[in-house]
Each structure stands twice: as C-alpha cells, then as structure tokens.
Structure 1
Amino acid sequence: MGIQNAKSHQRAETIQLEPSVQAALQTRPVESDVPSYATRLEETVVHIGNQYRYGQLYSDFLKARKSVFIDQKEWDLPHTEGMEFDQYDTPQSRSVVIHEYGRVLAGVRLLPTTAQCGCYTYMLKDAQRGMLPDIPEYVLYEDAPVMPHVWEATRLFLSKNEPAHRRLAIQTKLIRGMARAATEQGATHVIGIVPAVFQRWMNRLGMSALPMGPKLNISGDNTQAAIMHVANYADPTPSEAR
C-alpha cells in the first residue's frame, strides 16, 4: 500500500490507494442510540482567528493538554502558566474541543500536511527529517504526504477522570468532530499516531483506519501511525465554529 500522486475527482482530491485499501477504508455508520447525557456534550473548533469568541476555552484546552501529557504522562514538553504548547500550535492549526458545562473533556489538534512555519512542517514529516528526537525517523513506511486533502491529527486526549460508561460517547463525539473539522477544510484523510490497538478502538467508533508505519513505543505509549478516511464519516451537522 502506498500514498501516490493525487488527482481531482468530482470536485475533491483523493489519495490514490489500491482498490482493496479503498474498500477497507469505507466507514460504517455509528450507532445512533446514544445515552441522553451525550446531548450535553459540546463540540467547538477553535483556532487563532476565532478564539476570542469562546472566552477561556482555548486556554482551558491547553491546560487540559498539560494535565494529560505533562502531569500524567510526564512528557518533556514546553509549558507556561499551566498550558502545554509546541511549535505546531500556529494559526494554521485547528483544535477540536469537547466540553460540558465549560469543562474540557477531550480534544485533538489538526494541522494540514502542507503546513510550514520556519523550519517546521508537521509532526510526522518533521520526525522523518530527524527533527524530533522522541519520534524515530522510521515512524512511517514511506515518505510523509504533503497534500492539501491530507491533514494530521496530534495531541488527541480524553480526560482520565471520565468514567468508563461515558468514554465511548465522548470519543465518538471527538472523532466525529475531528472528521467534520478536517472535511470542512477540504480534507478526505487524516493521518496521525494512534494507539497500537487502534483497529479495535476504531471499530468501537464505527470507523476504519489502516496502518502506515510500524508499531512503536513512543514516550511510554504503544503506538502506530495510521491513516483514516474521514470524507464519509463526518456528521453533516455544521460545526459550532468555522
């Protein structure tokens, strides 16, 4: 399997994959029977251009990231005033935040694979270039894509304080929001580093993904790079933030 040259097709570019791979990436509908509390979950897509609309939501999102990635996982990441951030939090990025009554429950950051900020591009590509010591250069089986219809997802998290009976609804809301935010920017696929058990994890969410790299232990987590087809997964409901 490989990502090859892209071509236009019915107003949208798609990655050229083998027919068997395209079939495997077709998604299944998510169960509509969700618990009543799920209706209280709010999804907001925040970026530099609109964060002023949402008060402290973006700073709370960065604080939640610090709580997960620095306080809990003990990753060595930049932080200040209780907020975690890095070189990929730029005006080109978008953050999907799942929250309830003002409390951040989960989130993920999206960045186009065409991004460029100084010497940095996006995480997987920079890892291949040997710029990120914690991620090996062989994280992908092939060259990292640079295509406008492929976006990267990073810093995906869900608060550990959420009980088991709520986690699936929150995860589903987050992945739907990620798919919707990406497709609104013209993406058909999202690539990223996911838990090594992602096939089972994605099946629970009603979504398909395929491995794009070897299984690796990165900063204590068993992970694997994967690509997700999101064009047919996003809920048609408009997102709260454009």
Structure 2
Amino acid sequence: MTILITPQNRHRYAAELDGVYRLRHWTFNEWLGWGLAQREGREVDPYDDQAIHFVKLADDGEVLSCWRAMPTTRPYMTLEVYPEVFGDREPPVSPDIWELSKFCTARYRLKDDKAATYRIIAEMTVAVTEFCVAYGVTELLSVQSAVVTRVANMFLGEPIWTGPTVWPGDTDATLYSYEPSLMQAHVLRARHGLAAGPSLDHFDVLGLKTVAA
C-alpha cells in the first residue's frame, strides 16, 4: 500500500512518519555515511512538516520506501541548502514546479532482491507521477549524486534540464529536472507488472484543485 501524508493529515500518521524518519536515518547515515543531523535515530529536517510524503508500506506496516515532495512556492531544501546546483538558472518559485527529495528504500529488508526493489521504485514513481499530473505539476526538481542518477533516469525518464555538478561536501550533487508523464507511468506499470487503477486515493485531503476540477 502506498499512502500520501500531507500537512493536513499528518496527525493521523504519527507511526508511519516515525518509520519514514528512521528509514532516512538508516539510509543516509548508517548506509551512505553522510552524517546528516539526526535525533534519536531519526533523520528529520525543517522542511518535513510542510512537505508531502509518499510512503510505501509493507503488509506488516513497516515503511519500505519514502519520497518527499513540496512546491517551490514554499522554502525548499534545494534552494536554501544547495543553491549552487542551479548554476545560471533562476531558482524557480512556482506552484507548477515541485522539489523531490529524500528518496529511500529499505535495503536492509529487501536484501539483494533487485526485482522487488525496482518494483517498489516503480510503484513510488507512478504514485508521484499520477499525483503531479492530477495537480498540474509540470516539472520536478531532484538533486542527485552520480551513483543514483542512472537508476533515477530509468524510472523518471530522461531529464529535461541538468545543472552543473558541484561538491557541497564529500559527495557530488547535480540538479536534474524531469517532466511528469503519464506515458512514463504506463511504461513502468507494464514493465514491472503493476496493477491498473489509481496508485493513490484521497488526493482531496490537500485542499488543492485538480486539473480536471
């Protein structure tokens, strides 16, 4: 099951959010060794409260994957923490352009099951894509290191814009821009055997208007 946690409904998902923060700490600090700020084994930052969290849950309720999204009309991490990745591009401030960040999968549970991992990434990408199309989001920004870009492009498609590669710390960082596409979602559904039908329900909890509204 994939759920959508928003500023409006987050009070109902305290346990799931705790799982998100624990998975992020394990991924970024224990596995990748990035040394991000953490509190009692949870990686949380100032952008979380106003963000939307796409969360894939196992049957037992454990968080298998998470992805954070927020519109560029609010203060967002890429602009405030990594402004150099925009290069000569004016940092966007638009309701149609959103930032994607903090993607994780529970590798410690999935082990070396590449097919299962890719299926989860596909499910998450389809959920994000269908949400974006429903709400008229035309561009997604994602800061990545080189080690994840190949996989990201397999699921999000070829980037429509690429910024300069910078080194804000020990890891390289490049900003990529993607266009959400239902065609890409259809390809992922077919390639990974995902069931037809909406990937997420209850979009209306955001208090936003869909394109069709």
Structure 2-normalised TM-score? 0.75
Within the alignment, does 1:95 sit opposite 2:41 as a pair? Answer: no
Q: Is the Cα contact below 8 Å between 2:161 and 2:178 reproduced in 1?
A: no
Which of 177, 187, 191 pairs up with 2:127? 177
Q: CA RMSD in A?
A: 2.5
Matches of 1:217 and 1:88 in 2, distance apart? 22
Question: 1:196–1:215: 8 Å Cα contact kept in structure 2?
Answer: no
CA shift for structure 1 position 76: 3.4
Match of 2:76 among 97, 114, 122: 122
Q: Is the 8 A contact 2:85 2:173 kept in 1?
A: no
Contact persistence 1:45–1:181 (CA under 8 A): no
Q: How far is 1:47 from its partner?
A: 1.7
CA distance in 1: counterparts of 2:176 and 2:9, whole angstroms: 30
Unpaired runs of 5+ residues, structure 2, are 187-196, 204-213
Q: Would you tell me which structure has more strand in proportion to its own residues?
A: 1
User: How far is 1:231 from its partner?
Assistant: 4.4
In structure 2, distance between residues paired with 1:237 and 1:181: 10
Shift of 1:206: 6.5
Q: 1:216 to 1:158 in 2, by over 3 A?
A: farther
On the 8 A contact 2:84/2:166 being kept in 1, the answer is: no
User: Which position in structure 2 is the counterpart of 1:237?
Assistant: 198
> Cα distance, 1:174 vs. partner?
1.3
**Quick one: distance in 2 between partners of 1:138 and 1:98?**
32
Matching residue's letter, 2:35: D
| CA distance 1:110–1:203, change in 2 (3 Å) | closer
Contact 2:68–2:100, Cα closer than 8 Å, also in 1:
yes
Letter in structure 1 aligned against 2:22: K
State which of 69, 72, 86 in structure 2 corresponds to 1:110.
69
Distance 1:198 1:83 in 2: 22
Give 1:182 shift.
Answer: 3.1
1:83-140 CA-partner distances (Å, limit 9, x unpaired): 211111123x10011121112111111011000xxxxx112221xxxxx3xx4x4312
Choose between structure 1 and 2: higher helix proportion: 2
Please show how residues 185-224 of structure 1 align to structure 2 within 5 Å.
Answer: 185-196=135-146, 200-205=150-155, 207-217=157-167, 219-224=169-174
Which residue number in structure 2 is paired with residue 62 of structure 1?
Answer: 21
Tell me, which stretches of 5 or more residues in structure 1 are unaligned?
A: 1-41, 116-120, 127-131
Contact 1:98–1:106 (CA<8 Å) still a contact in 2? yes
Secondary structure of the residue that 2:85 maps to in structure 1?
Answer: coil
Deviations 1:179-222 (A, max 9, x none): 23333443111111124366642453372323421234455444
- Work out the CA distance in 1 between the residues paired with 2:46 and 2:156: 32
SS of match in other structure, 1:209: coil
Q: Is the 8 A contact 1:46 1:241 kept in 2?
A: no
Q: For 1:79, what is the secondary structure of its paired residue? A: coil
How many equivalent pairs are there? 187
Q: Distance in 2 between matches of 1:237 and 1:77?
A: 35
Offset from partner CA, 1:43-74 (integer Å, 9 cap, x none): 11112321344451111111111111122223
What TM-score, normalized by structure 1, do the two folds share?
A: 0.67
Aligned partner of 1:49 in structure 2 is 8
How much has 1:143 moved relative to structure 2? 1.5
